[in-house]
Structure 1
Amino acid sequence: MTWLRRNLPGLLLAAAVASVATVAGKALPVVGAPVIALCGGALIGVLGRRSVSEAGVFAAGLALTRQRILGAAIVLLGLGLPVGSVLEVGRQTAVVLFGTLVLGAVAAVILGRMLALDRDSATLVAVGTTICGASAIAAATAVIKPEKERVAYALGTIFVFNIVAVLVFPPLGRLLGLSDRAFGLWAGTAINDTSSVLAAGVIFGPAAAHFAVIVKLVRSLMIVPLCLGLHFTRRGTGQTKLSLRQSFPLFVVLFVLASVVAGTGIVPPTWLAPLGGLSAWLIAAVLAAIGSALTWRQLRANGARPLVFGGALGLILAVGSLALQTATGWT
Structure 2
Amino acid sequence: MANLATIVPGIGICAAIAIPCWFLGEALPVIGGPVFAILLGMLIAVWWKQSRRGSVQSGIAFTAKKILQYAVILLGFGLNLAQIAAVGAESLPIILSTIATALIVGYVLFKLLHMDSAIATLIAVGSSICGGSAIAATAPVIHAKDEEVAQAISVIFLFNVVAALIFPTLGNALGMTNEGFGLFAGTAVNDTSSVTAAAAAWDGMHPGSNALDDATIVKLTRTLAIIPITLVLGMWVARRESAANTNTSPADVTAASRTTESGPAAGAVAGIADANSDIPTAETSAVTASNGHASSKPGLLGSFSLKRAFPMFILFFLLASVLTTIAVACGADVAVFAPLKTLSKFFIVMAMAAIGLNTDIVKLVKTGGKPLLMGLICWICIAGVSLGMQQLLGLW
| Structure 1: tracts of 5 or more residues without a match | none
CA contact (8 A) 1:89 1:218 kept: no
**Larger of the two Rg values belongs to structure:** 2
Q: How does 1:1-331 map to 2 (within 5 A)?
A: 1-49=1-49, 52-53=50-51, 56-205=54-203, 207-238=210-241, 239=281, 240=283, 241=301, 243-265=305-327, 268-331=333-396
Q: TM-score, normalised by structure 1?
A: 0.95
Q: Is the 8 A contact 2:234 2:308 kept in 1?
A: no
SS at match of 1:318: helix
Amino acid at match of 1:323: G
Long gaps (5+) in structure 2: 204-208, 242-280, 284-300
Which is further off, 9-18 or 267-276? Answer: 267-276
Give the Cα–Cα distance (whole angstroms) in 2 for the partners of residues 15 and 268 of structure 1.
Answer: 30
> How many aligned positions are there?
329
How far the C-alpha of 1:246 sits from its partner, in A, is 4.0
> How far did 1:178 drift?
0.8
Deviations 1:216-259 (A, max 9, x none): 00000111011101111222223434622244211111111111
TM norm structure 2: 0.80
Structure 1 residue 84: Cα displacement: 0.5
More off after superposition, 85-94 vs 169-178: 85-94
Task: Give the stretch that moved more between structures: 133-142 or 241-250.
Answer: 241-250
What is the CA distance between 1:55 and its match in structure 2? Answer: 5.0
Shift of 1:6: 2.2
Q: Which amino acid aligns with 1:194?
A: T
Aligned AA for 2:234? H
* Per-residue deviation, residues 126-155 of structure 1 (Å, max 9, x unmatched): 111110000000001121111211111101
Identity, % of aligned positions: 39
Give the distance between the partners of 1:81 and 1:121, measured in 2 at CA: 28
Question: Deviations 1:85-141 (Å, cap 9, x if unpaired)?
Answer: 101223111221112212222212112212221211110001111100000000011
Aligned partners of 2:25 and 2:143: how far apart in 1?
A: 26
> CA–CA distance in 2 between the matches of 1:246 and 1:328?
41
Root-mean-square deviation (Å):
1.6
Where does structure 1 differ by over 4 angstroms across 4 or more consecutive aligned residues?
Answer: none
The AA in structure 1 aligned to 2:45 is G
CA distance in structure 2 between the aligned counterparts of 1:203 and 1:55, rounded to whole angstroms: 43
Letter in 1 for 2:146: K
Which residue number in structure 1 is paired with residue 245 of structure 2?
Answer: none
